[in-house]
Structure 1
Amino acid sequence: MVLKPAEGLARGPRGLAQPALKCRGREYLRLIYGPEYTAPENLARLRQRRVRGKQSLALREFALGLEALYRFVEHEPLYRVHECVFGVLALESEPMDASL
C-alpha cells in the first residue's frame, strides 16, 4: 500500500511532508530481513536504523520532479526541464540501503 497526500503538497511542522509511505506486510518483511526478523533483538536493531537520509533523498527527488513539471508546463526550453530530470537521476545513483 502506498499513501500519498490527498490534495496537492502536504506540509508538516518541519516543512514538506514525505510524499509517500510504503507499508510492507509481515511476509514481505520476512523475505527482506530473514525468517527471524520478529525476534525482539532483531526488531530493536531494526527500529534503531536511521531513515532520515532516505527520507531526505525522497524529498529532494520529489522537489526536482515537481520543478521539472512546472518548467514543462510553463513552456521553458527543454534543457531547463532536463536539468531537473538529470538531477533526479544523479540523486538516484547515490548509494542507499535498499531495504529501508
Structure 2
Amino acid sequence: MKCRGREYLRIIYGPEYTAPEHIERLRPRGLGTKRTLALREFALGLEALYRFVEREPLYRVHECVFGVLALETEPVDPRL
C-alpha cells in the first residue's frame, strides 16, 4: 500500500494544502475506491506468496499475480 507523507502531498496539492478551506475541498474525493483496490491487491500478493511457499504449481501462483495486474488496470485518480 502506498503511504503519502506531508512533503509529497505538498508537491501534489500545493504548500497550503493543510489549510481548512483546502481540506474541505479535498475531503470529498473519497478514498474508499482506492483503499479497497489496494487491500485487494495486497491480499492477492499475500496469497501468491503463500502458494509459492507451499510449493503449489507455478500456474497457481501466477493466477494471483495476474489478478493483481488486472486490478491495476482499474481507473483510479492517480493523485490520491
Between the two proteins, the alignment pairs up a number of residues equal to 80
Name segments (4+ residues, structure 1) moved above 4 Å.
none
The two structures have a TM-score, normalised by structure 1, of 0.69
Q: Which has the higher helix share?
A: 2
What RMSD over aligned residues (CA atoms) do the two structures have, in Å? 1.8
Structure 1: state its 5+ residue gaps.
1-19
Comparing 72-81 and 34-43, the one that deviates more: 34-43
1:24 matched to 2:24? The reply is no
Instruction: Provide TM-score, normalisation by structure 2.
Output: 0.84
Shift of 1:88: 0.3
Q: Which has the higher contact order (CA 8 A, sep 6+)?
A: 2
Q: Could you tell me which residue of structure 2 aligns to residue 44 of structure 1?
A: 24
| Structure 2 equivalent of residue 96 of structure 1 | 76
What is aligned with 2:54? Answer: 74
Displacement of 1:55: 0.8
Structure 2: stretches of 5+ with no match in the other structure: none
More strand by share: 1
**Could you tell me how far 1:98 is from its partner in structure 2?**
1.3
